[in-house]
Amino acid sequence: MNLTLLVWPAVARRLVLVGAVAWLALAGTAQAAIPIQHWTHASGARVYLVPSPSIPMLDVQLNFDGGSRRDPANQAGLASITAGLLLDGVAAQGAQPALDENQLGEAWADLGAQFGAQASDDRFSFSLRTLTEPELMRGAVALAARQMAAPAWPERIWQRDRERALAALKEAENRPGTHAGRAFSRAVYGQHPYGQDITPATLNAITVADMRSFYRRHVAACRAQVSLVGAIDRAQADQIVEQFMAAVKPHGCEPLPPVAEVAPLTQAVEQRLPFDAAQAQVLIGQPGVKRDDPDFFPLIVGNHILGGGGFVSRLTTEVREKRGLSYSVYSYFSPGLHAGAFQLGLSTRPDQADQAIAVAREVVQRFVAEGPTEAELQAAKDNLVNGFALRIDSNKKLLDNVSNIAWNDLPLDYLDRWTQKVQQVSLADIRRAFSRVIQPERMVTVVVGAKP
């Protein structure tokens, strides 16, 4: 299913060149203060703007509380399907004729712009990228607003895309990673929406009417968060936001029901699923933390040492380098509006799975009990701080960070203080945070394809 409209190749090359100029401009100022302007639009939308006048480009992201956590249990996938079909046509409006998916693609190609929609666990999002030459930007904003205001929801396209999605689900059954991920999510999240599976049954239960209803309920101006990065000023930003909010302002703004929190595990869970594959897939983990956890930075720095730092992590050293049990082993936290999973993953020869699991568990247990060394902590800080510029070295990356600030209600100087927050993490902070959050004796372990 198309989630992003591709630009005309000639214009795409121009955008790539402009992106390269953006990288040079941002790389030179990465350590300087990032001037995020914030205000509330008359519609209730919260707006965040970073003027970036060095290149003639604008990136916009709009976020709404309409991610997959809002999917009904019997219609898992509704949010992402709604986002996908929204891009496949617009209805006629006044003197403006209807446009099918091909005509829309041609219209975006003529503007040299990109427009997309997608749904994650928490967010329903729109994105727009356009050059800021006045005529092109006006046309791109108008077309994006039109798509938001009057999606066609073509039944014929949904029938086609559903068949494709069903075929993709069937094909995915041939991959051990599919079974591992599904079992892991169910065990970690239980009945929480984060763990819901998209299945043939849930896809067949979704109708175009369901998409319309979901869209009108969740994509409302009063709940919007709009982030803009580019060569515009506040007055221009407010005009753009006005057009977008007018497109969704007719939608209702009744309160959304609360979503329950992820329940903590009460005991260890181990599942071994047979699968004929050259490599056994192993996932180990538990519910982690929400994004607003006060120990966010100690957990991120600590996990960089444990398994998030690639070839310099403890897990890689013990599992790969010393014992040759896996080519790749990793760990990460995935904090969201609810407690996303802490996950450790690796693949190994089926006959080595038990040994790899034992080593990985021992590394986690020892890290939780003892924490890192001073040398490991300093190396992690150096790596994270020195790599910070790569987190904002393009308009798109900067936009992602600004959207993160908006969505999680972080301080406007969050990016300015990011390296300082990393530098302030102590050994005691990491030991305290990991001992509070991680319970090695109550982990989920899923193994797919190991020999008995």
List phi, psi (to 5°) of 225: -125, 120
Looking at the predicted structure, is the pLDDT value of residue 133 above 60? yes
pLDDT tens-digit readout, 73-95: 999 999 999 999 999 999 999 89
Question: Does residue 149 belong to any structural domain of this protein?
Answer: yes
pLDDT of residue 452: 74
pLDDT tens per residue, range 256-300: 999 999 999 999 999 999 999 999 999 999 999 999 999 999 999
Q: Is the pLDDT of residue 374 over 50?
A: yes
Q: Are residues 241 and 387 in the same domain?
A: no
Q: Give residue 32's pLDDT.
A: 57
Residue 263, domain member (yes or no):
no
Q: pLDDT of 326-370, one tens digit each?
A: 999 999 999 999 999 999 999 999 999 999 999 999 999 999 999
Question: Are 195 and 284 within one domain?
Answer: no
Is it the case that residue 211 has pLDDT exceeding 50? Answer: yes
Residues 226 and 303 in one domain: no
Q: 153: domain CATH number?
A: 3.30.830.10
In whole angstroms, how large is the CA radius of gyration of the chain? 23
Residues 153 and 242 in one domain: yes
63 and 208 in a single domain? The answer is: yes
Q: Is residue 286 part of a domain?
A: yes
Any domain includes 253: no
* Mean pLDDT score of the chain: 93
Residues 127 and 98 in one domain: yes
| 10 has pLDDT over 50 | no
Range of the domain at 238: 9-248
Q: For residues 450 and 321, which has the higher predicted lDDT (pLDDT)?
A: 321
Each residue's pLDDT tens digit, 240-254: 999 999 999 999 899
Per-residue model confidence (pLDDT) at position 450: 85
Q: Which amino acid is at 59?
A: D
For residue 23, what pLDDT is reported? 36
Residue 185 has pLDDT above 50, yes or no: yes
Does residue 157 surpass a pLDDT of 90? Answer: yes
Per-residue confidence (pLDDT) for residue 28, from 0 to 100: 40
Q: Do 84 and 211 sit in the same domain of this protein?
A: yes
| The pLDDT of residue 20 is above 80 | no
User: Is residue 296 domain-shared with residue 395, that is, in the same domain?
Assistant: yes
Is 0.75 topped by the overall pTM?
Answer: yes
Instruction: Please indicate, yes or no, if residue 257 is contained in any of the structural domains.
Output: no
308 and 208 in a common domain: no
- 348 falls within a domain: yes
Which pLDDT score is estimated for 33?
82
User: What average pLDDT does the segment 299-317 reach?
Assistant: 97
Averaged pLDDT, 413-419: 97
Give yes or no for residue 422 having a pLDDT over 60: yes
Of 248, 277, 304, the domain-final residue: 248
Task: Inform me whether the pLDDT recorded for 7 exceeds 80.
Answer: no
280 lies in the same domain as 213: no
Residue 225 domain flag? yes
The structural domain count of the chain equals: 2
Kindly tell me if the per-residue pLDDT of 380 is higher than 80.
yes
In terms of domains, do 60 and 136 share one?
yes
Q: Provide the token pair at 38.
A: 């914030």
pLDDT category, 160, cuts 50, 70, 90?
very high
- Domain assignment present for residue 4? The answer is no
Q: Indicate the pLDDT class of residue 27, thresholds 50, 70 and 90.
A: very low
pLDDT at 18: 40
What is the average per-residue pLDDT within 168-187? Answer: 97
Of 30-39, 65-74, 203-212, 405-414, the poorest mean pLDDT is in 30-39
Do 227 and 118 reside in the same domain of the chain?
Answer: yes
